[in-house]
């Protein structure tokens, strides 16, 4: 009886090994298929997001065609805005230019270069960072960017505004023309709406970058990113590309867009994610070698296997 039981046990062991091999092959094939599907979905998601973000550029270009020639309204709005800022006690941007900025040509040129080159590259690098490191939050950040920009474009339509650099009678100096580099000498005027000062999308996008990095990152130095919108606001004002009010309205728009998107997406703002709650550890019953005398093996996902005779 013992001799006949041994071949039977060996046969059962070989069958178990074969079944295990088949199962492993099936798992490997499933994993490859899932990886292919995942890559395909990622590619499609990336293409869709690229399409949506490029749509912002074309919308901006379209708005430029509508408002770019409304010079009379834009200058009248600028006169009214300057009167409003003076009435509520905001400091004069022109006085700040003369007192702290125009006598430092190297600093002026650096500010002009920052205005020209930091806006799109910094925002693009930020979006790539969110895509790679916080993919689950990318849609929320993207939607906030779209809402902010769409709100800005609507204001550009209903309130065309000449920037300070176009108002020399109020004491403003166009630092791009006087000190260089001038973005409108590089062909940027073909794509930019020069009468779209309200709101400042430079400031709006910078605030969105800072707000999102603080909310998403857990790096202890993340609050340094707040320097980006502060520097951007300083630059756009001192180079006479925007008024204080342009920056204030941009901050209001991005904050409203963020809060709305956060509510819809149920994302936490400035809050460290809570620790995971209690959960039950699943166990998997798997066949083992019959010669061991056990019917099943209980595999604990915490790598604490135990055996049981049921």
Q: pLDDT at position 273, please?
A: 45
Is 153 within 8 Å of 60 (Cβ atoms)?
A: yes
Q: pLDDT at position 95, please?
A: 96
**32-41, 118-127, 296-305 — which one is most confidently predicted on average?**
118-127
pLDDT of 26 higher than 70? no
Q: How confident is the model at residue 301 (pLDDT cuts 50, 70, 90)?
A: very low
Range with the lowest mean pLDDT among 37-41, 140-144, 209-213, 250-254? Answer: 37-41
With residues binned 3-state (H G I as helix, E B as strand, rest as coil), the percentages for the chain, rounded to 5, are 70, 5, 25
CA 31 to chain CA mean position, Å: 31
User: In the chain, pLDDT over 90 holds for what percent of residues?
Assistant: 47
pLDDT of 254 higher than 50? yes
Is 243 within 8 Å of 237 (Cβ atoms)?
A: yes
Query: For 39-74, what is each residue's pLDDT tens digit?
Result: 666 666 667 666 766 777 677 667 666 666 789 999
Cβ-count burial of 138 within 10 angstroms (0-12 exposed, 13-18 middle, 19+ buried)?
A: buried
User: How far apart are the C-alpha atoms of 183 and 239, rounded to whole Å?
Assistant: 12
Q: How confident is the model at residue 302 (pLDDT cuts 50, 70, 90)?
A: very low
Q: How confident is the model at residue 264 (pLDDT cuts 50, 70, 90)?
A: confident
Enumerate the domain spans of the chain: 42-265
User: How far apart are the C-alpha atoms of 288 and 16, rounded to whole Å?
Assistant: 8
User: Packing angle between helix 105-117 and helix 227-238, nearest 10 degrees?
Assistant: 120
Query: For 160-201, what is each residue's pLDDT tens digit?
Result: 999 999 999 999 999 999 998 988 776 655 556 788 899 999
Query: For 80-133, what is each residue's pLDDT tens digit?
Result: 999 999 999 999 999 999 999 999 999 999 999 999 999 889 998 999 999 899
User: How far apart are the C-alpha atoms of 57 and 192, rounded to whole Å?
Assistant: 10
Q: How confident is the model at residue 305 (pLDDT cuts 50, 70, 90)?
A: very low
pLDDT of 158 higher than 80? yes
Report the number of secondary-structure helices (H) and strands (E) in the chain. Answer: 10, 3
- What's the rounded mean pLDDT across residues 284-289? 48
């Amino acid at each position: 009886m013992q001799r006949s039981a041994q071949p039977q046990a060996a046969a059962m062991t070989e069958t178990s090994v074969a079944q295990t091999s088949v199962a492993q092959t099936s798992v490997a094939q499933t994993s490859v298929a899932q990886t292919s599907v995942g890559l395909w979905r990622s590619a499609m998601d990336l293409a869709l997001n690229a399409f949506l973000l490029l749509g912002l550029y074309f919308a901006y270009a379209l708005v430029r065609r509508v408002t770019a020639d409304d010079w009379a309204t834009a200058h009248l709005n600028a006169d009214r805005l300057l009167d409003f800022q003076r009435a509520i006690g905001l400091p004069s941007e022109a006085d700040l230019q003369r007192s702290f900025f125009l006598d430092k040509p190297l600093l002026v040129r650096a500010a002009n270069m920052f205005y020209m080159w930091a806006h799109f590259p910094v925002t693009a690098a930020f979006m790539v960072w969110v895509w790679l490191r916080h993919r689950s939050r990318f849609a929320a950040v993207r939607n906030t960017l779209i809402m902010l920009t769409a709100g800005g474009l609507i204001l550009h339509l209903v309130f065309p505004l000449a920037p300070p650099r176009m108002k020399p009678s109020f004491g403003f100096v166009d630092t791009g023309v006087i000190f260089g580099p001038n973005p409108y000498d590089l062909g940027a005027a073909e794509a930019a709406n020069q009468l779209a000062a309200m709101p400042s999308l430079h400031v709006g996008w910078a605030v969105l970058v800072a707000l999102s990095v603080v909310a998403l990152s857990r790096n202890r130095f993340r609050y340094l990113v707040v320097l980006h919108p502060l520097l951007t606001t300083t630059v756009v004002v001192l180079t006479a590309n925007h008024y204080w009010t342009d920056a204030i309205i941009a901050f209001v728009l991005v904050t409203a867009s963020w809060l709305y998107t956060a509510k819809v997406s149920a994302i936490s703002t400035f809050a460290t994610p809570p620790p995971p709650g209690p959960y039950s550890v699943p166990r998997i019953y798997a066949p083992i070698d019959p010669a061991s005398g056990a019917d099943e093996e209980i595999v604990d996902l915490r790598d604490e296997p135990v055996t049981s005779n049921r």
